[in-house]
Homo-oligomer: A and B are copies of this chain.
Amino acid sequence: MTTGSLGFETSVFDKEYITLAGQREGIVRGGRDLFDRLPRAFEGINQIAVIGWGPQGSAQAQNLRDSLAGRVRVVVGLREGSASFDAARAAGFSEADGTLGEMFAVVAASDMVLLLISDAAQAALYERIFAALRPGATLGLSHGFLLGHLDQRGGRFPEGIDVIAVCPKGMGASVRALYLQGVETNGAGINASFAVEQDRSGRAVERALGWSVGLGAPYTFQTTLRSEYLSDLTGERAILLGGVHGIVESLYRRFRDRGMTEVEAYRHSVDCVTGPISSIVSKEGLIGLYRRLDPAEREIFGQAYAAAYPVGLELTHEIYDEVSSGNEIRSVILAGRRLAEFPMGKIDQAAMWRAGEVARRDRDDATLPLDPFTAGVFCGVMMGQIDTFIAKGHPYSEIANESVIEATDSLNPYMHARGVAYMVDNCSTTARLGSRKWAPRFDYLLTQTAYPAVDDGAGALDTALVKRFEDHPIHEVLRICGQLRPSVDIFVQ
Protein backbone atom coordinates (compact mmCIF):
# COMPACT_ATOMS: atom_id res chain seq x y z
CA MET A 1 0.00 0.00 0.00
CA THR A 2 1.45 3.31 -1.08
CA THR A 3 -0.77 6.33 -0.94
CA GLY A 4 1.92 8.63 0.35
CA SER A 5 2.20 10.51 -2.91
CA LEU A 6 -1.48 11.36 -3.31
CA GLY A 7 -2.40 14.83 -4.46
CA PHE A 8 -3.78 16.27 -7.67
CA GLU A 9 -4.70 19.53 -9.38
CA THR A 10 -7.56 20.17 -11.77
CA SER A 11 -8.39 23.24 -13.79
CA VAL A 12 -11.59 21.78 -15.23
CA PHE A 13 -13.40 20.69 -12.08
CA ASP A 14 -13.65 22.12 -8.58
CA LYS A 15 -11.43 20.39 -6.11
CA GLU A 16 -12.64 20.46 -2.52
CA TYR A 17 -11.07 19.24 0.66
CA ILE A 18 -12.83 17.09 3.18
CA THR A 19 -11.36 16.00 6.49
CA LEU A 20 -12.05 12.41 7.40
CA ALA A 21 -10.89 11.25 10.82
CA GLY A 22 -8.25 13.93 10.78
CA GLN A 23 -7.00 13.13 7.28
CA ARG A 24 -7.47 15.79 4.61
CA GLU A 25 -8.50 14.38 1.25
CA GLY A 26 -8.98 16.24 -2.01
CA ILE A 27 -12.19 15.25 -3.78
CA VAL A 28 -14.35 16.32 -6.69
CA ARG A 29 -18.12 16.36 -6.48
CA GLY A 30 -20.15 15.23 -9.47
CA GLY A 31 -23.49 16.26 -10.89
CA ARG A 32 -25.24 16.75 -14.19
CA ASP A 33 -24.51 20.46 -14.13
CA LEU A 34 -20.85 19.54 -14.77
CA PHE A 35 -21.46 17.58 -17.98
CA ASP A 36 -20.80 20.74 -20.01
CA ARG A 37 -17.22 20.65 -18.77
CA LEU A 38 -16.59 17.15 -20.05
CA PRO A 39 -15.31 18.18 -23.50
CA ARG A 40 -12.66 20.28 -21.77
CA ALA A 41 -11.73 17.36 -19.51
CA PHE A 42 -11.36 15.16 -22.58
CA GLU A 43 -9.44 17.75 -24.61
CA GLY A 44 -7.43 15.91 -27.26
CA ILE A 45 -9.73 12.89 -27.12
CA ASN A 46 -11.97 12.44 -30.14
CA GLN A 47 -13.11 8.92 -29.42
CA ILE A 48 -13.50 6.90 -26.24
CA ALA A 49 -13.61 3.13 -26.58
CA VAL A 50 -15.41 1.00 -24.05
CA ILE A 51 -14.10 -2.54 -24.45
CA GLY A 52 -16.44 -5.24 -23.14
CA TRP A 53 -20.16 -5.44 -22.41
CA GLY A 54 -20.20 -6.96 -18.95
CA PRO A 55 -22.01 -5.17 -16.12
CA GLN A 56 -19.41 -2.36 -15.94
CA GLY A 57 -18.89 -2.12 -19.70
CA SER A 58 -22.56 -1.79 -20.56
CA ALA A 59 -23.27 0.66 -17.73
CA GLN A 60 -20.25 2.86 -18.38
CA ALA A 61 -20.70 2.94 -22.15
CA GLN A 62 -24.27 4.13 -21.82
CA ASN A 63 -23.61 6.64 -19.02
CA LEU A 64 -20.68 8.22 -20.87
CA ARG A 65 -22.56 8.35 -24.16
CA ASP A 66 -25.54 10.00 -22.46
CA SER A 67 -23.36 12.44 -20.50
CA LEU A 68 -21.28 13.44 -23.53
CA ALA A 69 -24.29 13.70 -25.83
CA GLY A 70 -22.18 13.40 -28.95
CA ARG A 71 -19.50 15.89 -27.98
CA VAL A 72 -16.98 13.07 -27.76
CA ARG A 73 -17.77 9.83 -29.53
CA VAL A 74 -18.23 6.70 -27.38
CA VAL A 75 -17.65 3.43 -29.24
CA VAL A 76 -18.14 -0.09 -27.91
CA GLY A 77 -15.58 -2.73 -28.87
CA LEU A 78 -16.34 -6.43 -28.53
CA ARG A 79 -14.64 -9.69 -29.23
CA GLU A 80 -15.29 -10.94 -32.78
CA GLY A 81 -18.48 -13.00 -32.72
CA SER A 82 -19.37 -11.98 -29.18
CA ALA A 83 -22.94 -12.73 -28.14
CA SER A 84 -23.08 -9.22 -26.65
CA PHE A 85 -23.27 -7.47 -30.05
CA ASP A 86 -27.06 -7.76 -29.93
CA ALA A 87 -27.29 -6.31 -26.44
CA ALA A 88 -25.08 -3.39 -27.42
CA ARG A 89 -27.21 -2.76 -30.50
CA ALA A 90 -30.35 -2.86 -28.36
CA ALA A 91 -28.77 -0.16 -26.18
CA GLY A 92 -28.29 2.05 -29.23
CA PHE A 93 -24.75 1.33 -30.37
CA SER A 94 -24.39 0.28 -33.98
CA GLU A 95 -21.87 -0.68 -36.61
CA ALA A 96 -23.74 1.56 -39.04
CA ASP A 97 -22.87 4.80 -37.21
CA GLY A 98 -19.46 3.53 -36.18
CA THR A 99 -20.23 3.22 -32.45
CA LEU A 100 -19.85 -0.57 -32.32
CA GLY A 101 -17.11 -2.78 -33.69
CA GLU A 102 -14.51 -5.45 -33.26
CA MET A 103 -12.38 -4.95 -30.17
CA PHE A 104 -8.89 -4.54 -31.63
CA ALA A 105 -10.06 -2.33 -34.49
CA VAL A 106 -11.88 -0.09 -31.99
CA VAL A 107 -8.81 0.06 -29.74
CA ALA A 108 -6.62 1.09 -32.67
CA ALA A 109 -9.08 3.82 -33.70
CA SER A 110 -9.57 5.39 -30.26
CA ASP A 111 -7.70 7.98 -28.21
CA MET A 112 -8.91 6.68 -24.87
CA VAL A 113 -9.57 3.00 -24.23
CA LEU A 114 -11.55 1.81 -21.20
CA LEU A 115 -10.66 -1.84 -20.76
CA LEU A 116 -13.69 -3.35 -19.05
CA ILE A 117 -13.39 -7.01 -20.07
CA SER A 118 -13.16 -9.71 -17.41
CA ASP A 119 -9.98 -10.22 -15.41
CA ALA A 120 -9.36 -13.54 -17.13
CA ALA A 121 -9.74 -11.89 -20.52
CA GLN A 122 -7.42 -9.05 -19.46
CA ALA A 123 -4.82 -11.58 -18.39
CA ALA A 124 -5.16 -13.44 -21.69
CA LEU A 125 -5.32 -10.45 -24.03
CA TYR A 126 -3.40 -7.59 -22.49
CA GLU A 127 -0.34 -7.96 -24.70
CA ARG A 128 -2.41 -7.73 -27.86
CA ILE A 129 -4.38 -4.80 -26.44
CA PHE A 130 -1.18 -2.96 -25.53
CA ALA A 131 0.15 -3.57 -29.03
CA ALA A 132 -3.03 -2.20 -30.60
CA LEU A 133 -3.06 1.05 -28.60
CA ARG A 134 -2.18 4.27 -30.44
CA PRO A 135 0.96 6.03 -29.34
CA GLY A 136 -0.05 8.59 -26.71
CA ALA A 137 -3.37 6.88 -26.04
CA THR A 138 -4.98 6.83 -22.61
CA LEU A 139 -5.65 3.40 -21.14
CA GLY A 140 -8.42 3.30 -18.54
CA LEU A 141 -9.11 0.52 -16.05
CA SER A 142 -11.91 0.11 -13.55
CA HIS A 143 -9.90 -1.83 -11.11
CA GLY A 144 -6.33 -2.77 -10.47
CA PHE A 145 -6.32 -6.48 -11.27
CA LEU A 146 -4.18 -5.99 -14.38
CA LEU A 147 -1.52 -4.21 -12.36
CA GLY A 148 -1.49 -7.12 -9.91
CA HIS A 149 -1.18 -9.55 -12.81
CA LEU A 150 1.66 -7.54 -14.38
CA ASP A 151 3.41 -7.47 -11.00
CA GLN A 152 3.20 -11.26 -10.89
CA ARG A 153 4.60 -11.63 -14.37
CA GLY A 154 7.20 -8.92 -14.06
CA GLY A 155 5.38 -7.09 -16.86
CA ARG A 156 4.75 -3.36 -17.33
CA PHE A 157 2.36 -0.96 -18.96
CA PRO A 158 3.68 0.35 -22.29
CA GLU A 159 5.76 3.51 -22.16
CA GLY A 160 4.34 6.57 -23.85
CA ILE A 161 0.72 6.15 -22.86
CA ASP A 162 -1.38 7.43 -19.99
CA VAL A 163 -2.69 4.79 -17.59
CA ILE A 164 -5.57 5.85 -15.37
CA ALA A 165 -8.31 4.16 -13.40
CA VAL A 166 -11.81 5.13 -12.39
CA CYS A 167 -13.31 2.54 -10.08
CA PRO A 168 -17.01 2.85 -9.28
CA LYS A 169 -17.68 1.55 -5.78
CA GLY A 170 -20.66 -0.49 -6.87
CA MET A 171 -21.87 -3.05 -9.38
CA GLY A 172 -22.38 -2.11 -13.00
CA ALA A 173 -26.14 -2.46 -12.58
CA SER A 174 -26.09 0.17 -9.84
CA VAL A 175 -23.81 2.46 -11.86
CA ARG A 176 -26.49 2.58 -14.55
CA ALA A 177 -29.57 2.52 -12.30
CA LEU A 178 -28.44 5.35 -10.03
CA TYR A 179 -27.25 7.39 -13.01
CA LEU A 180 -30.77 7.21 -14.41
CA GLN A 181 -32.14 8.31 -11.04
CA GLY A 182 -29.83 11.27 -11.40
CA VAL A 183 -32.17 12.73 -14.02
CA GLU A 184 -34.60 13.45 -11.20
CA THR A 185 -32.16 13.74 -8.33
CA ASN A 186 -29.08 15.59 -9.44
CA GLY A 187 -25.93 13.95 -8.08
CA ALA A 188 -27.36 10.47 -7.58
CA GLY A 189 -24.85 7.81 -8.54
CA ILE A 190 -22.12 5.52 -7.33
CA ASN A 191 -19.01 7.05 -5.77
CA ALA A 192 -15.76 6.28 -7.54
CA SER A 193 -12.07 6.38 -6.82
CA PHE A 194 -9.57 7.50 -9.42
CA ALA A 195 -5.89 6.76 -9.83
CA VAL A 196 -3.17 7.97 -12.16
CA GLU A 197 -0.59 5.27 -12.80
CA GLN A 198 1.17 6.97 -15.74
CA ASP A 199 0.76 10.55 -16.94
CA ARG A 200 2.61 11.13 -20.20
CA SER A 201 0.20 13.71 -21.61
CA GLY A 202 -0.07 15.86 -18.51
CA ARG A 203 -3.84 15.49 -18.93
CA ALA A 204 -4.32 12.22 -17.04
CA VAL A 205 -6.02 13.74 -13.99
CA GLU A 206 -8.54 15.74 -16.04
CA ARG A 207 -9.37 12.70 -18.15
CA ALA A 208 -9.88 10.51 -15.12
CA LEU A 209 -12.07 13.10 -13.40
CA GLY A 210 -14.05 13.62 -16.63
CA TRP A 211 -14.61 9.91 -16.90
CA SER A 212 -15.81 9.69 -13.28
CA VAL A 213 -18.09 12.73 -13.50
CA GLY A 214 -19.42 11.39 -16.77
CA LEU A 215 -20.35 8.12 -15.05
CA GLY A 216 -22.37 10.08 -12.51
CA ALA A 217 -20.19 9.63 -9.43
CA PRO A 218 -21.53 11.82 -6.60
CA TYR A 219 -17.98 12.28 -5.44
CA THR A 220 -14.62 11.13 -6.69
CA PHE A 221 -11.66 10.50 -4.41
CA GLN A 222 -8.06 9.72 -5.18
CA THR A 223 -6.19 6.47 -4.64
CA THR A 224 -3.39 4.52 -6.28
CA LEU A 225 -3.93 1.57 -8.58
CA ARG A 226 -2.25 -0.74 -6.09
CA SER A 227 -4.22 0.58 -3.13
CA GLU A 228 -7.35 0.12 -5.22
CA TYR A 229 -6.80 -3.52 -6.06
CA LEU A 230 -5.69 -4.42 -2.56
CA SER A 231 -8.85 -2.95 -1.06
CA ASP A 232 -11.11 -4.03 -3.90
CA LEU A 233 -10.08 -7.71 -3.99
CA THR A 234 -9.97 -7.87 -0.21
CA GLY A 235 -13.33 -6.16 0.20
CA GLU A 236 -15.21 -8.45 -2.16
CA ARG A 237 -13.71 -11.48 -0.45
CA ALA A 238 -14.63 -10.07 2.96
CA ILE A 239 -17.71 -8.06 3.97
CA LEU A 240 -18.94 -7.16 0.48
CA LEU A 241 -19.54 -10.70 -0.73
CA GLY A 242 -17.67 -13.63 0.79
CA GLY A 243 -18.06 -12.33 4.31
CA VAL A 244 -21.74 -11.47 4.07
CA HIS A 245 -22.45 -14.85 2.48
CA GLY A 246 -20.67 -16.73 5.27
CA ILE A 247 -22.38 -14.55 7.88
CA VAL A 248 -25.90 -15.25 6.69
CA GLU A 249 -25.26 -18.98 6.22
CA SER A 250 -24.00 -19.27 9.78
CA LEU A 251 -26.84 -17.16 11.18
CA TYR A 252 -29.53 -19.01 9.28
CA ARG A 253 -28.26 -22.32 10.66
CA ARG A 254 -28.05 -20.87 14.15
CA PHE A 255 -31.61 -19.60 14.03
CA ARG A 256 -32.85 -22.91 12.62
CA ASP A 257 -31.04 -24.82 15.38
CA ARG A 258 -32.81 -22.61 17.90
CA GLY A 259 -36.20 -23.58 16.58
CA MET A 260 -37.12 -20.93 14.00
CA THR A 261 -38.95 -22.06 10.87
CA GLU A 262 -37.11 -21.80 7.57
CA VAL A 263 -38.92 -18.57 6.70
CA GLU A 264 -38.32 -17.02 10.12
CA ALA A 265 -34.66 -17.94 10.03
CA TYR A 266 -34.34 -16.42 6.56
CA ARG A 267 -36.08 -13.21 7.67
CA HIS A 268 -33.79 -12.82 10.69
CA SER A 269 -30.58 -13.56 8.78
CA VAL A 270 -30.55 -12.79 5.05
CA ASP A 271 -33.53 -10.47 4.77
CA CYS A 272 -32.49 -8.55 7.86
CA VAL A 273 -28.97 -7.89 6.55
CA THR A 274 -29.88 -7.02 2.98
CA GLY A 275 -33.04 -5.13 3.99
CA PRO A 276 -33.35 -3.04 7.16
CA ILE A 277 -29.69 -3.15 8.23
CA SER A 278 -28.39 -2.02 4.83
CA SER A 279 -31.09 0.58 4.42
CA ILE A 280 -30.50 2.11 7.85
CA VAL A 281 -26.70 2.06 7.56
CA SER A 282 -26.94 3.67 4.13
CA LYS A 283 -28.83 6.63 5.54
CA GLU A 284 -27.73 6.82 9.19
CA GLY A 285 -24.42 5.00 9.32
CA LEU A 286 -23.37 2.18 11.62
CA ILE A 287 -23.92 4.32 14.68
CA GLY A 288 -27.41 5.16 13.47
CA LEU A 289 -28.19 1.46 13.36
CA TYR A 290 -26.92 1.09 16.91
CA ARG A 291 -29.00 4.04 18.11
CA ARG A 292 -32.15 2.42 16.80
CA LEU A 293 -31.77 -0.38 19.34
CA ASP A 294 -33.25 -0.26 22.84
CA PRO A 295 -31.01 -1.09 25.83
CA ALA A 296 -31.86 -4.80 25.86
CA GLU A 297 -31.21 -5.06 22.13
CA ARG A 298 -27.94 -3.15 22.51
CA GLU A 299 -26.84 -5.77 25.01
CA ILE A 300 -27.47 -8.52 22.45
CA PHE A 301 -25.88 -6.46 19.68
CA GLY A 302 -22.84 -5.87 21.86
CA GLN A 303 -22.32 -9.54 22.62
CA ALA A 304 -22.62 -10.52 18.98
CA TYR A 305 -20.41 -7.61 17.92
CA ALA A 306 -17.68 -8.42 20.46
CA ALA A 307 -17.63 -12.06 19.37
CA ALA A 308 -17.74 -11.41 15.62
CA TYR A 309 -15.31 -8.49 15.42
CA PRO A 310 -12.20 -10.65 16.10
CA VAL A 311 -13.32 -13.06 13.36
CA GLY A 312 -13.73 -10.21 10.90
CA LEU A 313 -10.39 -8.70 11.88
CA GLU A 314 -8.48 -12.00 11.67
CA LEU A 315 -9.94 -13.14 8.36
CA THR A 316 -9.69 -9.75 6.67
CA HIS A 317 -6.04 -9.60 7.70
CA GLU A 318 -5.53 -13.06 6.21
CA ILE A 319 -7.29 -12.11 2.98
CA TYR A 320 -5.27 -8.90 2.75
CA ASP A 321 -2.03 -10.88 3.11
CA GLU A 322 -3.15 -13.34 0.45
CA VAL A 323 -4.01 -10.50 -1.93
CA SER A 324 -0.90 -8.44 -1.33
CA SER A 325 1.43 -11.46 -1.60
CA GLY A 326 0.01 -12.20 -5.04
CA ASN A 327 -1.41 -15.55 -3.91
CA GLU A 328 -4.99 -14.54 -4.58
CA ILE A 329 -4.28 -13.33 -8.11
CA ARG A 330 -2.30 -16.49 -8.87
CA SER A 331 -5.23 -18.53 -7.53
CA VAL A 332 -7.65 -16.75 -9.83
CA ILE A 333 -5.41 -17.43 -12.83
CA LEU A 334 -4.95 -21.10 -11.83
CA ALA A 335 -8.69 -21.49 -11.30
CA GLY A 336 -9.34 -20.00 -14.72
CA ARG A 337 -7.26 -22.78 -16.26
CA ARG A 338 -9.29 -25.43 -14.41
CA LEU A 339 -12.70 -24.02 -15.33
CA ALA A 340 -12.98 -25.95 -18.60
CA GLU A 341 -12.56 -29.24 -16.72
CA PHE A 342 -14.28 -28.13 -13.52
CA PRO A 343 -16.96 -25.50 -14.20
CA MET A 344 -18.13 -23.70 -11.09
CA GLY A 345 -21.30 -25.23 -9.73
CA LYS A 346 -24.20 -23.03 -8.63
CA ILE A 347 -24.90 -22.67 -4.97
CA ASP A 348 -28.58 -21.78 -5.26
CA GLN A 349 -29.73 -25.40 -5.08
CA ALA A 350 -28.73 -25.73 -1.43
CA ALA A 351 -31.67 -26.10 0.95
CA MET A 352 -31.22 -22.67 2.54
CA TRP A 353 -31.40 -20.80 -0.75
CA ARG A 354 -34.43 -22.72 -1.90
CA ALA A 355 -36.12 -21.76 1.33
CA GLY A 356 -35.04 -18.20 0.62
CA GLU A 357 -36.69 -18.23 -2.75
CA VAL A 358 -39.98 -19.12 -1.11
CA ALA A 359 -39.41 -16.60 1.67
CA ARG A 360 -38.73 -13.75 -0.75
CA ARG A 361 -41.97 -14.38 -2.58
CA ASP A 362 -44.29 -13.15 0.13
CA ARG A 363 -41.94 -10.73 1.80
CA ASP A 364 -43.26 -7.47 3.21
CA ASP A 365 -40.33 -5.13 3.63
CA ALA A 366 -42.25 -3.03 6.13
CA THR A 367 -42.40 -5.89 8.63
CA LEU A 368 -38.87 -7.29 8.34
CA PRO A 369 -37.21 -7.73 11.73
CA LEU A 370 -34.17 -5.71 12.78
CA ASP A 371 -32.50 -8.58 14.63
CA PRO A 372 -29.95 -7.20 17.09
CA PHE A 373 -27.82 -10.37 17.06
CA THR A 374 -27.61 -10.33 13.27
CA ALA A 375 -26.82 -6.61 13.35
CA GLY A 376 -24.03 -7.20 15.85
CA VAL A 377 -22.43 -9.96 13.78
CA PHE A 378 -22.66 -7.99 10.54
CA CYS A 379 -21.27 -4.79 12.08
CA GLY A 380 -18.54 -6.76 13.86
CA VAL A 381 -17.23 -8.33 10.67
CA MET A 382 -17.59 -5.05 8.80
CA MET A 383 -15.62 -3.20 11.46
CA GLY A 384 -12.97 -5.91 11.27
CA GLN A 385 -12.50 -4.96 7.63
CA ILE A 386 -12.53 -1.24 8.37
CA ASP A 387 -9.83 -1.62 11.02
CA THR A 388 -7.74 -3.82 8.72
CA PHE A 389 -7.80 -1.14 6.02
CA ILE A 390 -6.96 1.55 8.57
CA ALA A 391 -4.01 -0.52 9.79
CA LYS A 392 -2.80 -0.90 6.20
CA GLY A 393 -2.93 2.85 5.59
CA HIS A 394 -5.75 3.23 3.06
CA PRO A 395 -7.40 6.62 2.65
CA TYR A 396 -10.65 6.95 4.58
CA SER A 397 -12.75 7.55 1.47
CA GLU A 398 -11.59 4.22 0.13
CA ILE A 399 -12.18 2.52 3.46
CA ALA A 400 -15.71 3.89 3.86
CA ASN A 401 -16.72 3.18 0.27
CA GLU A 402 -15.09 -0.26 0.01
CA SER A 403 -16.32 -1.48 3.39
CA VAL A 404 -19.70 0.15 3.94
CA ILE A 405 -21.18 2.28 1.15
CA GLU A 406 -20.63 -0.24 -1.64
CA ALA A 407 -22.41 -2.84 0.50
CA THR A 408 -25.36 -0.74 1.56
CA ASP A 409 -25.88 1.25 -1.65
CA SER A 410 -25.15 -1.32 -4.31
CA LEU A 411 -24.55 -4.96 -3.44
CA ASN A 412 -26.91 -5.63 -0.57
CA PRO A 413 -29.97 -4.07 -2.24
CA TYR A 414 -29.25 -6.26 -5.24
CA MET A 415 -29.00 -9.34 -3.02
CA HIS A 416 -32.19 -8.26 -1.31
CA ALA A 417 -34.01 -8.39 -4.62
CA ARG A 418 -32.44 -11.51 -6.12
CA GLY A 419 -30.95 -13.46 -3.24
CA VAL A 420 -27.39 -13.81 -2.02
CA ALA A 421 -26.92 -17.09 -3.90
CA TYR A 422 -27.96 -15.44 -7.16
CA MET A 423 -25.47 -12.67 -6.52
CA VAL A 424 -22.63 -15.11 -5.82
CA ASP A 425 -23.55 -17.17 -8.87
CA ASN A 426 -23.68 -14.16 -11.18
CA CYS A 427 -20.91 -11.75 -10.23
CA SER A 428 -17.51 -11.52 -11.92
CA THR A 429 -15.45 -14.69 -12.02
CA THR A 430 -12.80 -13.12 -9.79
CA ALA A 431 -15.36 -12.11 -7.19
CA ARG A 432 -17.21 -15.40 -7.49
CA LEU A 433 -14.07 -17.45 -6.94
CA GLY A 434 -13.19 -15.26 -4.00
CA SER A 435 -16.59 -15.58 -2.45
CA ARG A 436 -16.65 -19.35 -2.83
CA LYS A 437 -13.24 -19.52 -1.20
CA TRP A 438 -13.80 -17.20 1.73
CA ALA A 439 -17.51 -17.44 2.63
CA PRO A 440 -17.01 -20.90 4.19
CA ARG A 441 -14.11 -19.54 6.25
CA PHE A 442 -16.27 -16.79 7.77
CA ASP A 443 -19.02 -19.31 8.40
CA TYR A 444 -16.72 -21.80 10.15
CA LEU A 445 -14.92 -19.26 12.31
CA LEU A 446 -18.17 -17.62 13.42
CA THR A 447 -19.69 -21.02 14.18
CA GLN A 448 -16.62 -22.48 15.84
CA THR A 449 -15.45 -19.54 17.93
CA ALA A 450 -17.77 -16.52 17.89
CA TYR A 451 -21.14 -18.13 18.66
CA PRO A 452 -19.81 -20.49 21.34
CA ALA A 453 -18.21 -17.44 23.02
CA VAL A 454 -21.59 -15.71 23.13
CA ASP A 455 -23.46 -18.79 24.30
CA ASP A 456 -21.00 -19.64 27.05
CA GLY A 457 -20.96 -16.08 28.25
CA ALA A 458 -17.34 -17.09 28.65
CA GLY A 459 -16.13 -14.18 26.58
CA ALA A 460 -19.07 -12.36 28.24
CA LEU A 461 -19.53 -8.91 26.83
CA ASP A 462 -16.20 -7.37 25.91
CA THR A 463 -17.31 -3.85 26.80
CA ALA A 464 -14.03 -2.37 25.64
CA LEU A 465 -14.77 -3.53 22.08
CA VAL A 466 -18.28 -2.10 22.22
CA LYS A 467 -16.95 1.16 23.59
CA ARG A 468 -14.45 1.29 20.74
CA PHE A 469 -17.33 0.72 18.34
CA GLU A 470 -19.28 3.61 19.83
CA ASP A 471 -16.31 5.96 19.60
CA HIS A 472 -14.98 4.78 16.24
CA PRO A 473 -13.92 7.54 13.81
CA ILE A 474 -15.70 5.72 10.96
CA HIS A 475 -19.03 7.14 12.16
CA GLU A 476 -17.96 10.71 11.47
CA VAL A 477 -16.43 9.60 8.17
CA LEU A 478 -19.71 8.00 7.08
CA ARG A 479 -21.64 11.10 8.12
CA ILE A 480 -19.46 13.30 5.92
CA CYS A 481 -19.55 10.83 3.01
CA GLY A 482 -23.33 10.74 3.39
CA GLN A 483 -23.51 14.48 2.83
CA LEU A 484 -21.62 14.10 -0.44
CA ARG A 485 -24.40 12.10 -2.09
CA PRO A 486 -28.13 12.63 -2.21
CA SER A 487 -30.24 10.07 -0.40
CA VAL A 488 -32.02 8.08 -3.09
CA ASP A 489 -34.04 4.93 -3.17
CA ILE A 490 -31.43 2.22 -3.38
CA PHE A 491 -33.89 -0.63 -3.74
CA VAL A 492 -33.69 -2.90 -6.73
CA GLN A 493 -36.91 -4.19 -8.29
Identify the A interface with B (CB < 8 A).
253, 257, 310, 313-314, 317-318, 321-322, 325, 327, 330-331, 334-335, 338, 341-342, 345-347, 349-351, 436-437, 439-441, 443-445, 447-449, 452, 456
Contact = CB atoms under 8 A, between A and B. Distances in A.
A253 to B, nearest CB: 8
Contacts of A318: 334-335, 338, 342
Contacts of A456: 349
25 contacts: A310-B342, A313-B342, A314-B342, A317-B341, A318-B335, A318-B338, A322-B331, A325-B330, A325-B334, A327-B327, A345-B448, A347-B444, A347-B448, A347-B449, A349-B448, A349-B449, A349-B452, A350-B448, A351-B452, A436-B441, A439-B444, A440-B440, A440-B441, A440-B443, A440-B444
Most chain B Cβ neighbours within 10 Å, of A350, A440, A445, A449: A440
B317 A338 contact: yes
Contacts of A310: 342
B436 A444 contact: yes
Copies of this chain present: 2
Given A318-B334, A318-B338, A443-B444, 20 more contacts: A253-B253, A257-B351, A310-B342, A314-B342, A317-B341, A317-B342, A318-B335, A321-B334, A327-B327, A327-B330, A327-B331, A345-B448, A346-B448, A346-B449, A349-B448, A349-B452, A436-B444, A440-B440, A440-B441, A440-B443
Closest 5 CB pairs of A and B: A440-B440, A349-B452, A345-B449, A314-B342, A440-B444
Most chain B Cβ neighbours within 10 Å, of A322, A345, A437: A345
A437 B448 contact: no
A330 B342 CA distance: 25
Contacts of A342: 310, 313-314, 317-318
Contacts of A437: 441
Contacts of A341: 317
A176 to B, nearest CB: 30
Nearest to A327: B327
Nearest to A439: B444
Contacts of A313: 342
Contact of A321 (B314, B338, B436, B441): B338
Contacts of A449: 345-347, 349
Contacts of A448: 345-347, 349-350
A318 B337 CA distance: 10
Contacts of A444: 347, 436, 439-440, 443
A334 B347 contact: no
Contacts of A330: 325, 327
Contacts of A443: 440, 444
A410 to B, nearest CB: 25
Contacts of A452: 349-351
A285 B208 CA distance: 65
A345 B445 contact: yes
A335 B325 CA distance: 12
A356 to B, nearest CB: 13
A325 B331 CA distance: 9
Contact of A350 (B314, B345, B447): B447
Nearest to A433: B318
A345 to B, nearest CB: 4
A313 B335 CA distance: 14
A331 B327 CA distance: 8
Contacts of A436: 441, 444
A257 B350 CA distance: 13
Contact of A334 (B314, B322, B346, B349): B322
A436 B441 CA distance: 8
Nearest to A354: B452
Nearest to A253: B253
Nearest to A437: B441
